[in-house]
Amino acid sequence: MTTDLSQYNANELPSADVLSRQRYAIVVADWNSEITHALAKGAIDTLVKHGVIEKNIDVMHVPGTVELTYGAALYVSGRRGGLFNNVDAVIVIGCVIKGDTPHFDYVCQSVTQGVTLLNAHMYPQPIYHPCPVIFSVLTTLDKQQALDRAGGRLGNKGVEGAVTAIKMANL
């Protein structure tokens, strides 16, 4: 039996009035773009569906999953600039598919530790505007598992990332 893992109770989220005043950042890796761009679309659509104004969502593209930490750090440190130097939450979106080499382990460990450090406010850069950094990185054994979680039979993990970002930004 397969279930959509992206189901959630919308009644647990703040009102659209609250969300219309918030800003969110999404840092998306372009490696495995067929998957990561579908995840980003799921996150954006979910934020807008619940009241975040689309112009209050900034999307930054980085080459790969390892670079997600640096992109998120630009937002957390206030160095992104303009409207987006103070965001309510950052969602990092990537996809790492296991291959025949240990590269998978190094990439997964790097991004996991980087996001953890940002959330613990321990990143080597000065933290000017601490905000939650949401981990929406798929780590799968094969491409089909990733597709199943990027709008396929198991839902869209980008949706889950957006819902988590909303909840964490409004603790």
| pLDDT score at 7 | 83
Annotation: CATH topology of 15-169:
Rossmann fold (3.40.50)
- Answer for the pair 150, 38: CB distance below 8 angstroms, yes or no: yes
| pLDDT score at 22 | 95
Q: Is 103 known to be catalytic?
A: yes
Q: What is the mean pLDDT of the chain?
A: 90
Does the predicted TM-score (pTM) go above 0.75? yes
- Answer for the pair 154, 148: CB distance below 8 angstroms, yes or no: yes
* Residue numbers in the chain where pLDDT is lower than 50: 1
Using alpha carbons, select from 96, 93, 115, 94 the residue that is nearest to residue 43: 93
| pLDDT score at 67 | 96
| pLDDT score at 92 | 98
Out of 37, 50, 103, 129, pick the active-site residue. 103
